[in-house]
Structure formats: C-alpha cells, structure tokens
Structure 1
Amino acid sequence: MTSIKKSEVLKCIDYSKENKLIDKLNSVYNTLPSGDCNGCGSCCMESVGINLIEFINIFNYLKGNDKLRIECLNKVLDYYFLEYVKKSPCPFKDDNNRCMIYEVRPLNCRLFGHWKKEDYNKNLSNVTKRNIDYKNIIKSKYGFDINDEVVNYKINYCEDFIPEKEYLDKATRLSFADELMVLDSKIFSKEIIDIDFKDRGIVEYFIDCLLNENVAYNIKVKVSKDSEAREVAINRLKKILVR
C-alpha cells in the first residue's frame, strides 16, 4: 500500500478550506455536549481513531507551528515503533498531561466521558478481546510476544467526568461520527487523496504520511523483536523523516 502523500494532504487542506469542510467540522464539534473534566489525562493513552477530515485539520494545525510539529512527530514515531514493547501515552499529550492539539482534538477525545457506563464497559471488553486475538496472530506469524502490559491495558470508565446534561447513548454518539463520515466522503469522491477508505488511528495517519505503510509495519515488527537495534532505528528515522 502507498503512503499518504503530503502533496495530496495539502490539496485536501485547500479543498476543505475552499468548500468550508473545516467550518462544517467545527460546527459538528460545537454541537457536542460539554462536561466537567478534572484534566487527569488518564484517558489519553492510545492512538485514538479519527476521520480523514480530522487528520487534515490536525495536519494543518501543526503545519503552522514547526516546533510543535517536530515534537509531536518525534513522539508519534516513538509511540508507533514501540507500541508492541511498552504502553505509551498519546503522543500529543505533554509532560503536564495537557493536550498539545487541544483546539483541534478529534471527536473521540471530545466524546470521552459522555458514554453510558454500560456501553463503555461492553466496548472495553471487546477491545481487550481483540488485543488478545491480535497478540496470538503476531506470535504465530512473527514468533514474538507483544508485551502483556500493552495487550491488557485498559482505559477504565471515568467516574470523575460530569456531563453538563446527560450521558449519551450509542445512537447519539454514532450520529456525530456519521456527520464526519459525510465530510470524508466529499473528499474521497473528488479523488484528491489516494488512500484506502478505512479506520485509522491518529498515529497511523501520521505514520502513513511519513512512510510507506508496509515498510513502516515491517520496521515495526523488526525493531520490536531486536532490542539492540530498536533505539538506533528509531533515532535514524527521526533524523530522516522529521524536518
């Protein structure tokens, strides 16, 4: 599979601005319910799933700040290539548990805490099962074990978050996601960007923008198996890819 070409992303940014897709994205964000969060950062521990329009929005946000972009991309590389070895926080979280892209944070981040507890815990059980199944696949295919800390890590339901009104049911949460899918479809229909229409986490979007997807994954597997080569490989990639 090919990588996400930066030139295509820049065209997507221009198209999104011209057709006010970013404005429409922000309009969706503005309709989301608010709540009281204590800012502990305990939920910021994964490569949260995002839409293409959200990636474009975040990419554009970082494009205007070289220092922040470099810091975030270095952390993205660490997160991705060490993902099988240790559990790391979201690469967009700073050392003070603050989100470095808070103004453009994705839908899933904005909705965390608004889930009904029963829905959240059911989804959490499914995530853990998928992680275990994936560990078995990696063991069978490549002959090494993903760290159990990574496989069994759980972002527990937040008891401290207080929604402004009420917790959201599944249908309501999905209705917001559907609105973003409509914005994505407008970009894909114009064939501006040559990538598969599939689920990606925020880390995977940026990795795909830096490296060929298959190359990145092969490196990831190799450095996960070889502890001596790991630091050398990651530092080399940072020097080559992050400019």
Structure 2
Amino acid sequence: MASINNTDILKSIDYAKKNQLFEKLNNIYDTLPKGECTGCGNCCMESVGINLIEFLNIFNYLQDKDELRKKSLDSIIDYYFMEFMEKKSCPFKDENNRCEIYEVRPLNCRLFGHWKKEDYNKNLKDVTDKNKQYKNIMKIKYGFDISDEVVNYKIKYCEEFIPENRYLSKSERLNFADNIMVLDSRLFSKRVIDIEFRDRGIVEYFIDSLLDQNMSYNIKVRISKGRNISKRTISRLKRMLIK
C-alpha cells in the first residue's frame, strides 16, 4: 500500500476548491448544534476518525502556516510511532489545552458532548473491548504487548458540557457523518486521489502522506518490540520527513 501522494493531495485540494466541497463541508459544520464547553481538553486524547475531505481541509489550512505545520507533524510522528507504548494527547492540542486547528476541527470533535450518556458509555465499552482484542492479536502476530495504559485508556463522558438544546440521537449523529461521506464520494468517484477507501484517524492520514503505509506500520512494530531504539529512530524519521 503506497503513501498518499502529495501531488494528488494538492490536486484534490484544487478540485475541492473548484467544486465548493470545502464550502459544503463548512455548511454541514454550521448546521451542527452548539453547546457550552469548559475547554478543559480532557476529550482531546485520541486520533479521531475523519473523512478524506476533512483531511484535505486540515492539510490546506496548514499549508501557509509553516511553523504550526512542522510542530503538528512533529507531534503526529511521536503519536503514531509511540502509539502502542504511550498514551499521548491529540497532536493538535497545545500546552494550554487549546485546539490549534479549531477552525477546521473534524466532525467527531464537534460532536463530542452531544451524546446521551448511555449511548456514549456503550460505545466506550465497545472501543475498550476492541482494544483488548487487538492487543491479543498483536501479541500473537508480533510477540509484544501493547501497553495496558493505552488499551484501557478511557475518555470519560463529559458531565460539564451543556448542549444548547438537547442531546443528539445516534441516527442524528450518523446523518451528519453520511452528509460528509457524500463529499468524499465525489473525490473517490472522480478518481481525484488514488488511495484505498478505509477508515483512518487524523494521525494516520498525515502519516500516510509522509510514508508508505506498510513501511510506517513495520517501523512502528519494530519500535514497539525494541523500546531502547525508539527515540533514536523517531528522531531520524523527523529529520527525514519534516521539511
């Protein structure tokens, strides 16, 4: 599996601009309900799942912000290659718990807090169960243990967030996701970008734009198996990839 070619990314951004896809994405964002957030940053502790159009939107946002782009890539590389060993916060959260890409933050970030507690906790249990299954698979396949801190980490339901009107049902949340998926389908159907369609987190999208997917995953596994070489290897990767 190849990386996401940067030329294809730029062509896709150009296509999205010409066809008002970013504008349509923002229109979807604008229909989302609002709420009162304390800004504690406790929810910003994972590589949230995003759509292709959202990745392009964030990539485009960072293009003329060289310092922020390099800082973000530095944190993204740390997050990805240490993911099996250490639980790190979202690479886009700063030292003051503020989101550095707040204007273009993805749907999953915007919807956090709008879940009913029972829905959220059920999903959280499902995620933890899948993490435990994945740990067993990695142990059998590669012979190392994913850290229990990582496997069992839970972003607790936020009792402080207050939705403007009411909590959203599962079908309402999925409807927003479906609307954004329609924008993705434009990019895939026109073959604007040559990548396989699969679920990716925000970190994975950026890593895939830097390295061949098989190569990055194999390096990640090797780092996880030999922790004494992790910092040196990651430093070399940063020097090679961040320009």
Query: Does the TM-score normalized on the shorter chain lie above 0.5?
Result: yes
Residues 69-108 of structure 1 mapped to structure 2, 5 A cutoff: 69-108=69-108
1:237 is paired with a residue whose SS is helix
Q: CA deviation at 1:192?
A: 1.2
One-letter amino acid of the counterpart of residue 17, structure 1:
K
One-letter amino acid of the counterpart of residue 74, structure 1:
D
Q: What is the alpha-carbon root mean square deviation over aligned residues?
A: 0.4
Residues 21-170 of structure 1 mapped to structure 2, 5 A cutoff: 21-170=21-170
Within 2, Cα distance between the matches of 1:235 and 1:61?
26
2:209 is paired with a residue whose SS is helix
Within 1, Cα distance between the matches of 2:11 and 2:151?
38
TM-score (norm 1): 0.99
1:210 is paired with a residue whose SS is coil
Report whether the alignment pairs 1:237 with 2:243: no
* Structure 2 equivalent of residue 9 of structure 1: 9
Per-residue CA deviations over 1:62-106 (Å, capped at 9, x if unaligned) read 111000000000000000000001100000101110001000000
* Structure 2 equivalent of residue 171 of structure 1: 171
Q: CA deviation at 1:223?
A: 0.6
Within 2, Cα distance between the matches of 1:235 and 1:192?
33
One-letter amino acid of the counterpart of residue 11, structure 1:
K
Within 2, Cα distance between the matches of 1:185 and 1:147?
37
* Structure 2 equivalent of residue 227 of structure 1: 227
| Structure 1 runs, 4 residues or longer, greater than 2 Å off | none
One-letter amino acid of the counterpart of residue 132, structure 2:
I
Within 2, Cα distance between the matches of 1:15 and 1:168?
33
One-letter amino acid of the counterpart of residue 167, structure 2:
Y
Per-residue CA deviations over 1:170-204 (Å, capped at 9, x if unaligned) read 00000000000000000001111111111100000
2:135 is paired with a residue whose SS is helix
TM-score (norm 2): 0.99
Within 1, Cα distance between the matches of 2:225 and 2:66?
33
Per-residue CA deviations over 1:95-130 (Å, capped at 9, x if unaligned) read 110001000000000000001111101100000000
2:157 is paired with a residue whose SS is coil
Q: CA deviation at 1:52?
A: 0.3
Within 1, Cα distance between the matches of 2:2 and 2:162?
43
One-letter amino acid of the counterpart of residue 5, structure 2:
K
Instruction: Point out where structure 1 has 5 or more consecutive residues left out of the alignment.
Output: none
